[in-house]
A and B are shown apart, each in its own frame.
Chain A
Amino acid sequence: MSDSNHQDPYEAGSLDELCDLLLEEEGVAPSESARRPLLETLAMLPFELESVELEAGVKEQLFDRIASERQAQGSANAEAPPTASVHSMAEHRSAIETSTPAPMNAAVSTASKPGWLLPIAASLLLAIGSLAYFQRNELQAQRAVNAQIQSQFDVVESKLEALEQDRDLALTSLAQASQPGTEACALKPRLASTAPQAHGTIYFMPEGEGWVLSLDGLEDVPGKTYQLWFLNDEAAMSGGTFLTGNRPYMWTHDKMPPPGTRGVAITLEVEGGATAPTGPEVLFGDAEDMISFL
């Protein structure tokens, strides 16, 4: 049962990556709602395949499995709390007694049999009942422990997955940023920056291959988004919005900044971004020396 319950049905892995690629290119902050139409589009791909006929037995087996799981769940739900279980034990004993084969019943009820048989039978039933009660409690405790371990495992697994994604992105970005001919522009906090500890670098890759943004120390602010700007003498062009997830952040883009870019800035804007910088400037980098490059 755990093999399916721990899986997130919305797990899309590499499809999320595909969606985010398009969203980032269009300057839309990746989010579940922004991804949805793209995921729906991708999820149509299997409809292109010829349907495969499954044996009729597969469906029957499915409903058999459901019936047995339902039965198992029913039994588990029927397990009453300890106080009530004394009562159910008695009922259980009663059920056992009533279903006891005839010869034993006869032995219990026959007056001609020795009188000590009845107390011994009752003691035995009580002992069996107590043992069953003990085992059921043990089982419940074990189930609770298992559920706790499973939930811890799920948390660790999702963290590991996030770390792996970060690592993959970092490796890719590093490979791109370390190409010969790459120019680096340091991003530093302004005096009035809301994030004085933040710092970063934007790498411009040669031959128009794009840029890699690497940031550290930028904490997300609820209801706000960070926005990247390329500045020239007259205007600021948006490079897109992003959230850091309160982790070191890397962003790779395969287009160059607009020609004439002389500076790079990161501001804090309202969710969805702005058409021109309005929020506080968090980081700034002087790209003046890269005029010929850009």
Chain B
Amino acid sequence: MSRSSVSKSHMFLIEFICVVMFFAICASLCISGFAKAETLSNKGLLLNRSVAGAETIAEEIKAMENPTEPQIAGIIEEKNGVEKEITYRCETERNNDILSAKIEAYNGESLLCRLEVKKYISNGGKDE
């Protein structure tokens, strides 16, 4: 076997290693892309569901005549009981005749969406 044949074989091996390394880099980029796509798709689905859920809570608050904090907490609790991956939280603030409620939807600790609803309460919510 001549020296040039051994050198050719080594060159081929080095070239092949380079190809494998290039492929490995491309594959790792592709896989990270795939994983990101999966995460994004899952997040999108959760966002859709959380928006519908938050909208439902907001509409129910608007439907109440004189919403009180325990009533709102009841709605949130009921909604949290139904949903598995989404947790809803609500902060209320009363400013004279206006009740504002900030509804937030979380997946674990990450915020999915936030919705603010304001409701005019006649008589400032006091019973006549």
- Do A and B actually bind? no
